[in-house]
A and B are shown apart, each in its own frame.
Chain A
């Protein structure tokens, strides 16, 4: 990154500010080059290979590659479709419950006057939202698994409790989704100015009318954005489910892992690629909804 001495003579004939811009432009651009090359190589190539493999078929005898929609079609059939639907159902359910509970907790934190509680809750949320994966699965196995502490104390086994099921997985997912929602909505709830409530009260509005006509409309983009963020997080989750249920709950991430690691039939790995592409499309859709919402809510929260 060493540069020539900044004398005007080394940088051509144009004078004043144009020289300056021209001198800086190429040099700073070069500093960003390694990052761009790295992303193109280590992110772009695998992604390209994923898309390419998902839409092509290579004939094993002739080696010829042809375009086909077969893998994508197969990824939307039978057990594969079931796993996609299972994932979407689980993500939607946990995101909905997580969003509601997260908002309740966030509201409780925001309305409390205690700065200590607020700091503690926000720090804890930051830590818990980052707590996923394998350790979380094992913590829940120790708590609510077949010989888990709470299972034995409360004799949940006889009540038909099963951690290794759709419901069990939902309970585990909520452990990192609720804190995520708290983090996502506390700024929005802070943005609800007390003056708005006072103004509504002075105008004779009831609490319900305030929420119906002022509070919820202002919060709506943030709440929806939080829901979508939770959905995306739950949808992409794999490690927790892999360590917890193995294969008993149909989830698309588990199906992809199966198809990749097991010695599957040829052509099956292309279905894994197609499933990966399906996931990216769904996650992309989620982001496409989330980002504009984020921007809209930012308008009120300045």
Chain B
């Protein structure tokens, strides 16, 4: 799954080399028709569900337009708790995965190129394992707690990571799922700067290692760090499989749980979460890491 978006150079190259002589221009007329048709149909397919969902939430048959579904959200039972839980999990996941990945990737760039394939495979493996398979494994491990470890101090750890208020086990699982995207985003960022020179310069001036990393390298990686963080945030906010099967109730699980009683509200929340995710991703592509934004992610599907 290498980078899939075209680079600016490629685009420029294609543009520079299309001369469009008169002969081909005549040929291009027919394509224009099917191009319009294809793009029109595609636009309709991708727009209709969005427009229809919005219409569904604001138009109540027989009663006209009302924004009730949105205004009643804040007072809905469980909305604030589940949203705050999701945001907290996202913050912890982002912090954890960046703290793990940044030093490792700098190390690979700097002095251990032989480690690179190991790290790359380890970071990409979660793509091969579907989340549902991962959660079966996690559930099995969590069951060991009560079964085998009830008399050891480890048991307390098992209880603690499954705390309803803040399930650390979800943070660990999400950090695993986020690894491929964090790796790709950071790797691209590190590729763009000359790590050895920066480090050597900083070290020669007497900077300590933490200082070098935090004050010299991290500022240079700002956009790729932001990219990794945004993708992780989107992943955690939308994650359903692992949380629901382990019995926790963050945002995505809450939406499903209210859908039976409040169909309109569940669609309204979906529209909102969609708008927020899109805004985040658009912001991300604006900050210059378009490649990270458009890389396919393992957001729940």
Contacts and interface: CB of A to CB of B under 8 A. Distances in A.
Interface of A: 1-3, 6, 21, 24-25, 27-32, 34-36, 38-39, 42-43, 45-50, 53, 101, 104-105, 108-112, 117-118, 121-136, 138-144, 148-150, 173-176, 178-180, 183-184, 186-187, 190-191, 193-195, 198, 201, 207, 229, 233, 235-240, 242-243, 253, 256-257, 260-261, 269, 272-273, 275-277, 279-280, 283-284, 287, 290-291, 294, 298, 301
Most buried by B among A28, A29, A235, A237: A28
B100 A280 contact: no
A253 B132 contact: yes
Given A143-B48, A242-B240, A280-B133, A31 B125 contact: no
Nearest to B274: A135
B4 A187 contact: yes
Contact of B132 (A34, A135, A279): A279
21 contacts: A3-B209, A21-B111, A29-B107, A32-B108, A49-B144, A108-B34, A136-B301, A138-B270, A139-B270, A141-B263, A142-B55, A187-B4, A187-B6, A235-B130, A238-B130, A239-B241, A240-B300, A240-B301, A243-B259, A256-B136, A273-B137
A38 B107 contact: no
A101 B37 CA distance: 12
Q: Lowest 3 CB-CB distances: which A-B pairs, in order? A: A132-B301, A126-B294, A46-B137
B53 interface: yes
A108 B129 contact: no
B154 interface: no
Contact of B130 (A138, A143, A280): A280
Interface string B283-301: 0010000100111111111
B132 A287 contact: no
Contact of A31 (B39, B106, B144, B273): B106
Nearest to B173: A42
B148 to A, nearest CB: 10
A127 B209 contact: no
B275 to A, nearest CB: 10
Contact of A25 (B6, B112, B128): B112
A284 B121 CA distance: 13
Contacts of B104: 31-32, 34-36
Contacts of A184: 4, 296
